[in-house]
Structure formats: C-alpha cells, structure tokens
Structure 1
Amino acid sequence: MSAAETQVSSLPMPPERYISNYTDENIRRNRAPRPPPPPSQHEVYSMFGIQYNNDEMIRSLESQNIKRLIPIHFDRRKELKKLNHSLLVNFLDLIDFLILNPDSPRRTEKIDDISLLFVNMHHLLNEFRPHQARETLRVMMEMQKRQRVETATRFQKHLERVRDIVNSAFAALPTLYDEDEHGGAKIKMEVDPLESNAAAKNDPSYQHDRMMCKLVDSID
C-alpha cells in the first residue's frame, strides 16, 4: 500500500463518538460541531471513500437533446395511455408501409417515431423511480419497526415472568426475622446447648463462677 493511500471506514463511527460531541455543556457553550452544508449542484463529494456527484438522478429529455412529447405539467396515467395508443397506431402504420412499400422513406420515419415514443414512455416511467425507492424504504422501515416493537413486547413479557418467579422464590423462603414488641425486627438465633457448654468451659471466668455457685449451694 502506497503512502498516498488512506484507509477509509466503510461504516459510520459508533454512536459514542457522536454523542460525546453533543453534550449539554457543548451545546450550551456553542461548541457542538455544526452539520456540514448540503453539497451544491454538480458538486462532487466523498462518503465512506466513494465519490458521489449531486447531479439529478433522472435527467430531463431536453438535457439529452431528445424531443419531449409530453407536457411539463400532466397526469402521468393519462399521458402513459396516450403514449401507448400512439405507439400502437404507429406500429400498425409501420406494418402497412412494410406491406405496401418496404422501400418507402416513411418507413424510417415511422421507426424513428416509434423509438421516440419508447424513449418518452421510459422516461415517464423512470420518473416514478424515486417515489418507488421512497415507498420501498418506508415499507422496509415500518417492517423493521414492527419487528423491534414485537421483540420489545416479548422481552417485557419475559421480564415480568422472571420477576414473578423471583418474587415467588423470595416468598417461599423461610422467615428469618420476627418482629419485637416495638415493631422492630430481630433475628432469631438458636444455640446448640452442647456448643454453649463447650464455649463456656473455654471461658477463663467459667471456673470461678462455678466455684461461687457451689459455695452458694452449700450455704443453702
């Protein structure tokens, strides 16, 4: 790879890189980056390493030096029907010329007329391409939204079920606390008598207490 070549990411940066630039403090101090200006007409711009131009997606017939048979403002459905009828009529005329006089110069004119009708018809159909692309994108995004909503709903149902299971498990645990007379909670502790005796014998004062108890018993 030469030094002039640069690596360009094919995907946008993670959202964290954008969010960190648009914090409340940056917006308050007017330090947030401004969006780039829209490209002007016929301007070439680069996106993810690919060059794009801002030319019209569908060029007009006049810019291609093609005669326009349809008006500027029109009903597309009506004009398509008119072009289709004209195409059929010209095709029938072409067949008549081929039968009666195949060498007639009108034959070439009819072929040119049919070609011009096809070009105008295709141009009229191509003008629906942006609308078709928007509708396709809208349907795709609505389908993705519906799938995400259904996934979130299923996740919420599973979450509520897990919460119920956890609450049931906590409710099934034995009670470790009792409330005292003041409403407070104190822990119940049970001590094994054998363990208590063993612990008392290890206490240094245990022998002295035992001697005192015997002395008191002998006085009685």
Structure 2
Amino acid sequence: MASSDAIQVSSLPLPPMQYVNQYTDDMIRRGRAPKPPPPITDTYHMFGNAFNTEESIIRPLESQGIKRLYPLHFDRRRELKKLNQSLLANFLDLLDLLVNCPDSPRRAEKVEDLSLLFIHIHHLLNEFRPHQARETLRVMMDLQKRQRIETANRFQKHLDKVMDILQHAIQNLPEPMELDSKLMIETDLLMKQEKQDNSDSNNDSCYILDRIMCNIVDSMQ
C-alpha cells in the first residue's frame, strides 16, 4: 500500500514548494516521499527561456538574439552607471508620452528600450556572479581559518596550564637524599622483621621437638 501511494505521489506534477514539502521525516520513513527528478541531459527551460546543458552558464547576448549596447572590451562599473542613467531617461520619456500622447506608437518603442536596458543590466550583473562566488568562498575560508586559529590558541592555553601543573608537581617532590634515607629506614625495618620471623620459626621448631620427646618419655613410664 505504501509503495502504491509513493508511486501516486511521485507521478503528480507538484509546484516547487509543494514538492519540497513532501520530503518530511515522516514521509521519508513511510516511503511516501516522491522520487528526485532525473538529471537533465539536453535542454531545459528556466524563466521562460530555453537553455542547453553544454552551454556556458552566462551566455553571450549574441547567442540569445539580443543586440549588444556596449563594446566587447569595457569597464563594467562605468557601463552599469551609463545603463542606469539611460534607464532613468527612457522611463521619464515614457512618462512624458503617457501624459501628453498616450496613443503614440513611440510608447511601445520606449517599453522595448526599457526592456533591452533591463536585460543588459541583468546580464552585466550575472557576469559578476563568478566573482561573487569566489569572494563568498574566500570569506568562508577566512572564517574557517579564524576559527581554527582560535581553537589552536585555546588548545595552547590548556597545554600551557597542564605544563605548569606538572612543573609545580615536580617541584614539590622530596629531595633524593631524603627519599634514600626513608628507603634505607624501611629496608632496615624489613630486614629486622625478617630476622625476627626466622628466629621465631626456629624457636618454634625446637619447642615442638622437645614436647615430642617429653611425650615419648612419659609414655615409657
């Protein structure tokens, strides 16, 4: 039953957000989450435009059939400022046309000019995406570097503290002469105790033999 439900859910065309919402822990545990879409191998559509997987991510304007308004070699910052000024001027012209003669055919031309300017601005901004990605990666690597340096500094502080504790413990150890004298005293005590134990054992054996002889003599009487 679960497998049929999973097939039914995966076969339904879902909007992007509803498709994502199907991947909950409960749906995955019950096996009802939709299968991921297959990888794209040839062409795909995004924002109403067709794209090919073999093409570069940022396609030239000429390949899209769009007239280029700036030369091939240019300063992107300056061109963006010029496009922004042109956009503002054309927008004011469009407002003037709408106020004075709204039925003028130039209104459609101004809308096309504004659309073309927006496309160029969007294209120039997209060309900055690789630089933005590299800068984002650099910031992330700098953050990781700072975190690792802070971790190494904390570890070094703990290591220095442990070394101080060990050094203090070594300094509080007794002197070698004092230690040897204590060992000698304990050794002498052990030797005396061993001799005493040996003598007691000998005395005990003699006492036992005497008692045996006395018992034999008493039995003969």
Give TM-score scaled by structure 2 length. Answer: 0.59
Deviation (angstroms), 1:105: 1.6
Native 8 Å contact 1:58 1:126 kept in 2: yes
Q: 1:197 to 1:90 in 2, by over 3 A?
A: closer
Cα-to-partner distance string for 1:78-103 (whole Å, 9 max, x where unaligned): 11111111111211221222122212
Deviation (angstroms), 1:58: 1.5
Deviation (angstroms), 1:195: 5.5
Q: 1:203 to 1:73 in 2, by over 3 A?
A: same
Aligned position for 2:196 = 201
Q: 1:76 to 1:199 in 2, by over 3 A?
A: same
Alpha-carbon distance between aligned partners in 1 of 2:151 and 2:186, rounded to the nearest angstrom: 53
Paired residue total: 153
Aligned position for 2:177 = 178
Higher Cα radius of gyration: 2
Aligned position for 1:169 = 169
Alpha-carbon distance between aligned partners in 2 of 1:150 and 1:207, rounded to the nearest angstrom: 73
Q: Does 1:189 align with 2:184?
A: yes
Q: Aligned runs of 1:59-70 on 2, under 5 Å?
A: 59-70=59-70
Deviation (angstroms), 1:111: 0.3
| Runs of at least 5 residues in structure 2 that lack an aligned partner in the other structure | 4-40, 43-52, 204-221
Q: Tell me whether 197-206 or 109-118 shows the greater mean CA deviation.
A: 197-206
Q: Aligned runs of 1:124-139 on 2, under 5 Å?
A: 124-139=124-139
Counterpart code for 1:91? F
Counterpart code for 2:88? L
Q: 1:136 to 1:194 in 2, by over 3 A?
A: closer
Cα-to-partner distance string for 1:117-144 (whole Å, 9 max, x where unaligned): 0110111111111111111111121121
Sequence identity (%): 58
Aligned position for 1:90 = 90
Q: 1:195 to 1:187 in 2, by over 3 A?
A: closer
Q: 1:74 to 1:153 in 2, by over 3 A?
A: same
Native 8 Å contact 1:76 1:124 kept in 2: yes
Q: Does 1:159 align with 2:159?
A: yes
Q: Tell me whether 140-149 or 54-63 shows the greater mean CA deviation.
A: 54-63
Alpha-carbon distance between aligned partners in 2 of 1:178 and 1:190, rounded to the nearest angstrom: 12
Alpha-carbon distance between aligned partners in 2 of 1:115 and 1:154, rounded to the nearest angstrom: 57
Deviation (angstroms), 1:203: 2.4
Counterpart code for 1:106? R
Pick the structure with more helix per residue.
2
- Secondary structure, aligned partner of 1:202: helix
Deviation (angstroms), 1:187: 8.1
Alpha-carbon distance between aligned partners in 1 of 2:181 and 2:61, rounded to the nearest angstrom: 91
Aligned position for 1:109 = 109
- Secondary structure, aligned partner of 2:198: coil
Q: Which has the higher contact order (CA 8 A, sep 6+)?
A: 2
Q: 1:194 to 1:188 in 2, by over 3 A?
A: closer
Deviation (angstroms), 1:186: 9.3
Alpha-carbon distance between aligned partners in 2 of 1:89 and 1:192, rounded to the nearest angstrom: 107
| Runs of at least 5 residues in structure 1 that lack an aligned partner in the other structure | 2-42, 45-52, 180-184, 209-220
- Secondary structure, aligned partner of 1:151: helix
- Secondary structure, aligned partner of 1:63: helix
Q: RMSD value over aligned CA atoms?
A: 3.1
